[in-house]
Structure 1
Amino acid sequence: MSLLALTDAQISTWVASFMLPLFRVGALLTTMPIIGTTLVPKRIKLFLSIAITLAIVPSLPPLPTVNPLDLSGLMLIAEQIIIGALLGFSLQLFFQAFVVAGQIVAIQMGMGFASMVDPANGVNVAVIGQFFTMLVTLLFLSMNGHLVVFEVLTESFTTLPVGGGLLTLHFWEVVGKLGWVLGAALMLVLPAITALLVVNIAFGVMTRAAPQLNIFAIGFPLTLVLGMVILWISLADILNQYQPLATEALQFLRDLAQAK
């Protein structure tokens, strides 16, 4: 009975065909929203990375044969980590637009002091910002945005091949997208900000008309209550605001990965 004999070339081919995609998938899952948060244990992220890699490896183009312990192998591993992390970070910008929108409207309505610990990131955020984060998470999952991300990830191995994808990746596009976050956040809460501005102007007129009126005693609770009402009314149109932003964010992810 003969033992199975494996050559170094065969082992290198098997390792490269699995380990290199695993690093790109793992970097994406670690940096992307929802799965990349601290709410998901690291062991679950590892299991998901392995499962997704096993599912997509048969459909991937031929990968270069490298020695994973050689310098060239380590460079390829670093390349996959950078590509996956950049794709995940570009998706984070879309979610952060809603967080910034919540922060802006919370300050305008006087709830900037009402903060809580964000369990996903471990930092203090405004309650309104945390509410917007949960809302966009539910909308993203209900509309299968995560499936689009995995589709783009699979196509990225063809458009950004192992060994040459980092040279064609446009880093400057991600930097230019940072300004889009603030613009998208302002567009989300512009109606609420405008309504709260009218409320503050009305309080200013009341102060000038009746100086004896203690505007600080009644202004803060009224602004808070009216702000909650305005926010509740503006949420009726949140789906129409979410769809174009999500489409633009996912299209940017496709353009970054140069996918079809």
Structure 2
Amino acid sequence: MVEVTFAQLQGWLMLFLWPFVRITAFLMASPLLGHSSVPNQAKIGLAVLITVVLGPNLPPMPEAPLVSWVSLGIMVEQMLIGIAIGLTMQVMFAVVQAAGEFIGLQMGLAFATFFDPSSGTQTMVLSRLLYMITLLMFLAFNGHLIVIEIIATTFITLPIGMGGFNANAFELLVRFGGTIFAAGMLLALPLVGALLIINLSMGILNRSAPQLTVFNIGFPASLTVGLFLLMVLMSDFGRFLQRLFSDGLLFLRQMLEAMAPLA
């Protein structure tokens, strides 16, 4: 007859529970699997599957009662690590959304919005289109597999129960948020610059010939030129995304290494 002691049962639960919290926090905060359209049952099931696969290769768990304040602190620690990884990925995808917002405003598509259930706000159609293309390209580049590999290595660089973080790592995460505006404007700059010149020309034309209203000429011209330049932009969009994903995943590794407490 097989007998299981309370100590063995507690050890198995700790081996599963704490990594499960880190992986679940990441899945809830990530832009791909954390979307509201993905059922919670699928998120939890995937987190359980990843935890079971990684469980035998994890380093030894800290000696702490499962039901205690120490265990609660460890769970909060795992949640912060998972959320930090998810927020880094959110910043990567927000770059393309910001570029879509900049381009849409210059093209005159500010009215072409719809409700986005994932963010709870109105989103431009062009921004949503670029976001979906980015998601598909991320899957095509096997970015989701790279992120899972990074999460697996975090249990070595950031072992469970390490007792604290390096506060400078969270400052790095906040500064990385500036990539949304810097890289987003860099992507949208060719279209924004060309459309700005067209709008300035339409303004001068409207002053010199008031009978040629901006709504009759300016809007069709901006929309036509914007669509043409958008087609040209799509030819180099893959290389931009490849660079964006490489820089983002490299920063993710550096941030996780920086989160380790100072000796």
Q: State the partner residue of 1:41.
A: 39
For 1:120 and 1:167, locate their aligned partners in 2 and report how far apart those are by CA, in whole Å: 30
Match of 2:20 in 1: 22
Local SS of the residue matching 2:165: helix
Paired residue for 1:117?
Answer: 115
Map 1:63-82 to 2 at 5 A.
63-82=61-80
* Structure 1 unaligned residues grouped into runs of 5+: none
* Aligned residue runs from structure 1 range 95-174, under 5 A: 95-164=93-162, 166-168=164-166, 170-174=169-173
Q: Which residue of structure 2 aligns with residue 211 of structure 1?
A: 210
Query: Does the alignment pair 1:94 with 2:79?
Result: no
What amino acid sits opposite 1:211 in the alignment? P
Deviations along 1:124-177, one digit per CA (max 9) or x if unpaired, are 200001001101000000000001100110000010111116423611111111
Q: CA RMSD of the aligned region, Å?
A: 1.6
Distance in 1 (alpha carbons) for counterparts of 2:205 and 2:111: 26
Structure 2 residue runs without a partner (length 5+): 259-263
Letter in 2 for 1:60: L
Task: Provide the rounded CA distance (Å) in 1 between the counterparts of 2:213 and 2:113.
Answer: 27
Runs (4+) off by over 4 Å: none
The CA deviation at 1:213 is 2.2
Count, aligned residues: 257
Shift of 1:211: 3.5
Cα deviation digits, residues 16-48 of structure 1 (max 9, x gap): 111110000111111011101101100000000
Give secondary structure in 2 for the equivalent of 1:212: coil
Match of 1:176 in 2: 175
| Counterparts of 1:128 and 1:85, CA distance in 2 | 28
Q: Which amino acid aligns with 2:165?
A: L
CA offsets 1:29-86 (integer angstroms, 9 cap, x no match): 1101110110110000000000010111112111113222111111111111111111
Give the fraction of aligned pairs with identical amino acids, expressed as a percent: 35
Shift of 1:119: 4.3
Tell me what 2:233 maps to: 234
User: 8 Å contact 1:106–1:128 — kept in the other structure?
Assistant: yes
In structure 1, the partner of 2:256 is 257
Task: Report if the CA contact (8 A) 1:31-1:89 is conserved.
Answer: yes
